[in-house]
Structure 1
Amino acid sequence: MITINSRLIRIHWFGLTCFFSFLLLSGCQTITNSMLEKPVSAVDVLPMPVASHEFSFDPFRDDVVGNVQVINANYEDTLSDIARRFNLGYEEIVAANPDVDPWLPGAGTRIIIPTQFILPDAPREGIVINLAAMRLFYFPKAEDGEMQYVITHPVGIGRLQWKTPVGATRITVKDENPVWRPTPSIHKEYARNGNPLPAAVPPGPDNPMGTHVLRLAWPTYAIHGTNKPPSVGMRGSFGCIRMYPEDIAGLFNEVAVGTPVRVVNQPRLLGWRGDQLYLQTYPVLEDDKRNHDKQFGKLIEETRSALKAQINARPHQTLNNSLIKETILNPRAIAIPVTKADISLQNYLDLALHVQNTMPFNATWVGDIKGNLTTAEIWESEQIQ
């Protein structure tokens, strides 16, 4: 009996659609302006951006999904606007573009879209959250013989004084249109800042938990939405995991009560794709006091000696140590192939796929955040609360 995975059909159909669209768009470059009613513009000849939240992969061979993309900013864009468009968090896109003004990139500015991810070093089942990456990965159960599937979204995590815990837990309750009942410690925090809270906040636009909640076996912790979408990708919560409203709604429908949840803190990730070993680095969280240089040496040894590292030409690949050093010293949230010889980080980014600055096909968000608070206003309000 033949089984059909509808998710994989969607991914493969999307790939074919992009491929033929690219061929069509490329072919249009040979048409002269005199044959058209209007001149050919740059956007007409660029491919559509690739969806950045759903991927299939071979779990026995590969650890890397997605691709780095490049766009040109529009006149009114902020990095926060672009981040939500491409299902990225605020810190992710700022780290990838350290020389760009987050509030006013400027029309035409080249923006790196870091939509290539090394999967966390954790069991690929249920939900895995990497605090350093501020990113969630959901691995639906795969049938025998099928490619594995992953859904990934940016998240906000606990602020410095309200750390999100690391460890294993599970989803215990799914709650739609929740009531927020602040804990005594949260009441004290608000009261200390002259902004006392009611005993309960009903469902609606003022509810900081948004419209959907996945409660965890850890008391007082949950994965939930937010009424402040630009805060996703920041340390701004009281320890809970925040998601964009559209992302938590989709995840809510996918997962069941009992789904395992594992929270890790991995600022340096190694993984294989094809014959290349990739390295992805994120800024180390302020309260993470581990010796990551010492741990990284051990991580390289384990990664290169694992069974997965013995496939095809992988055992013969030589590490580009200068690129490794550059990637560690400049954590850009970008997955880099560190077994490619004689390239720098800039060389690699220069080769990234240049795409239209528009909503990716099958994107999770289709709205317009103009009129909401800016990321700067969100950040300021979080410091006051």
Structure 2
Amino acid sequence: MLPRVSAVARFLSLTSLFAAGPVAALEFPLPPPGEDIVGQVQVVKAKYEDTFADLGEASDLGYLEMVAANPGVDPWLPGAGTEVILPTRFILPPGPREGIVINIAEYRLYYFPKGKDVVYTYPLGIGREGWGSPVAHTTITAKTPNPGWTPPASIRAEHAADGDPLPAYVPPGPDNPLGPFKFTLGTPGYLIHGSNKKFGIGMRVSHGCFRMLNDNVLELSKLVPVGTSVRILNQPYKFGVSNGKVYLEAHTPLNDNGDPSLADKHTEVINTLLKREDMADQSQLDWDIVREVIASEDGMPVEIAGALPQQGQQPGAVANGADAIAQ
């Protein structure tokens, strides 16, 4: 079993190994079959003028990712010399590693280009409460540089009610909320696009579309062809394997009806785990650490089993695990 230390303490003991400056782009080699984790966590020392929004933009990280990974640090004034964690280590989303996969629970897009053993990943702004982004399996149906914007009637009505009327059409340019490029999705009414507002990437800010930093959407526009598959998930808990060890990554669940109960979170973790056939035997998982990871919701992979079990599921392993996590 793993030693009884907190998930945060376990992580912080490793950060010095990964200290580095901000990365230019998040592109990683794909791990071999049976492995699920890419990247390494980094640590930077903030300058006096830095904010989490600045550091996140420089490192392809969203605002809420930065906040979750750095509890207790002021996101607007970290302070000169403050060590700031850059959570640039990820468990890949479940399912086929092909096309675009969006996990709205982590405000993040993954792109697996055909014929290349790499993955690109970018932060996203997603639909705010009442205008949630869809969970769907769709495709890229069109690519449009320098798009104009015709606001839907529902959005114009909302803005008019707030005393901020919108024109019937917004031409391309710096005032266009779609930024320099848009991808049209097969799910009607939804886009992946740039933005004329940097703040909001990695947050719930849109009317359901997926916002990207302009540099990122322009980079993606050169990589992704029309017809590319797009899977949109809502997966706050991801299990993964690396070097024979089992990891759990937890994000704050999205819910328009208030924060789900702890019991609901535990149930979702168990249901997510049951979908992993390679983890059918859960007798080696450290359920104390699992509970800590769920409670922290810091979005970083944390080891929850020192070695992946090699035998089949033991009788009662799932039930015992569910009981253990609820204690």
Within 5 Å, which residues of 2 pair with 1:122-161? 122-142=95-115, 148-161=117-130
Q: Is the 8 A contact 2:22 2:58 kept in 1?
A: no
Partner SS state of residue 231, structure 1: coil
Alignment partner, residue 250 of structure 2: 281
2:235 to 245, 263, 266: 266
Partner SS state of residue 229, structure 1: coil
Q: Please state how far the C-alpha of 1:316 moved relative to its aligned partner.
A: 10
| Change in 2 beyond 3 A, CA 1:238/1:185 | same
Residue 85 of structure 2 corresponds to residue 112 of structure 1: yes
Alignment partner, residue 40 of structure 2: 67
Q: Please state how far the C-alpha of 1:336 moved relative to its aligned partner.
A: 1.1
**Could you list the per-position Cα deviations for residues 23-62 of structure 1 after superposition, in whole angstroms to 9, with x for gaps in the alignment?**
xxxxxxxxxxxxxxxxxxxxxxx75555551011235121
Q: Please state how far the C-alpha of 1:124 moved relative to its aligned partner.
A: 1.4
| Change in 2 beyond 3 A, CA 1:115/1:149 | same
Which of the pair has more CA radius of gyration? 1
Q: Is the 8 A contact 2:21 2:42 kept in 1?
A: no
Q: Please state how far the C-alpha of 1:340 moved relative to its aligned partner.
A: 4.0
1:197 to 166, 181, 184: 166
Q: Is the 8 A contact 2:21 2:44 kept in 1?
A: no
Within 5 Å, which residues of 2 pair with 1:296-375? 296-303=269-276, 305-306=277-278, 318-340=284-306
Q: Please state how far the C-alpha of 1:301 moved relative to its aligned partner.
A: 3.9
Within 5 Å, which residues of 2 pair with 1:194-233? 194-233=163-202
Give, in whole Å, the separation in 1 of the partners of 2:225 and 2:87. 30
| Change in 2 beyond 3 A, CA 1:170/1:59 | farther
Unpaired segments of 5 or more residues in structure 2?
Answer: 1-18, 308-327
Bigger relative contact order, structure 1 or 2 (CA pairs below 8 A, ≥6 apart): 1
TM-score normalised to the size of structure 2? Answer: 0.82
Partner SS state of residue 246, structure 2: strand
Residue 55 of structure 2 corresponds to residue 82 of structure 1: yes
Partner SS state of residue 288, structure 2: helix
| Change in 2 beyond 3 A, CA 1:281/1:62 | same
Give, in whole Å, the separation in 2 of the partners of 1:300 and 1:284. 16
Which stretch of the first structure deviates more once superposed, 269-278 or 176-185? 269-278
Q: Is the 8 A contact 1:210 1:245 kept in 2?
A: yes
| Change in 2 beyond 3 A, CA 1:329/1:174 | same
Unpaired segments of 5 or more residues in structure 1?
Answer: 1-45, 342-385
Partner SS state of residue 214, structure 1: strand
**Could you list the per-position Cα deviations for residues 249-277 of structure 1 after superposition, in whole angstroms to 9, with x for gaps in the alignment?**
01011111111111100001101111111
Alignment partner, residue 325 of structure 2: none
| Change in 2 beyond 3 A, CA 1:83/1:50 | closer
Partner SS state of residue 132, structure 1: helix
Partner SS state of residue 106, structure 2: coil
Q: Is the 8 A contact 1:155 1:241 kept in 2?
A: yes
Give, in whole Å, the separation in 2 of the partners of 1:141 and 1:275. 27
Q: Is the 8 A contact 2:44 2:83 kept in 1?
A: yes
Give, in whole Å, the separation in 1 of the partners of 2:47 and 2:219. 28
Give, in whole Å, the separation in 2 of the partners of 1:232 and 1:49. 17
Q: Which runs of 4+ in 1 moved over 6 A?
A: none
| Change in 2 beyond 3 A, CA 1:328/1:316 | closer
1:247 to 210, 213, 216: 216
Count the aligned residue pairs.
285
C-alpha RMSD of matched pairs (Å)? 2.1
Q: Please state how far the C-alpha of 1:294 moved relative to its aligned partner.
A: 1.5
Q: Is the 8 A contact 1:52 1:115 kept in 2?
A: no
Partner SS state of residue 105, structure 2: coil
Q: Is the 8 A contact 2:23 2:58 kept in 1?
A: no
Give, in whole Å, the separation in 1 of the partners of 2:23 and 2:306. 24
Give, in whole Å, the separation in 2 of the partners of 1:106 and 1:340. 37
Give 1 or 2: higher helix fraction.
1
Q: Please state how far the C-alpha of 1:105 moved relative to its aligned partner.
A: 0.5
Q: Please state how far the C-alpha of 1:292 moved relative to its aligned partner.
A: 3.3
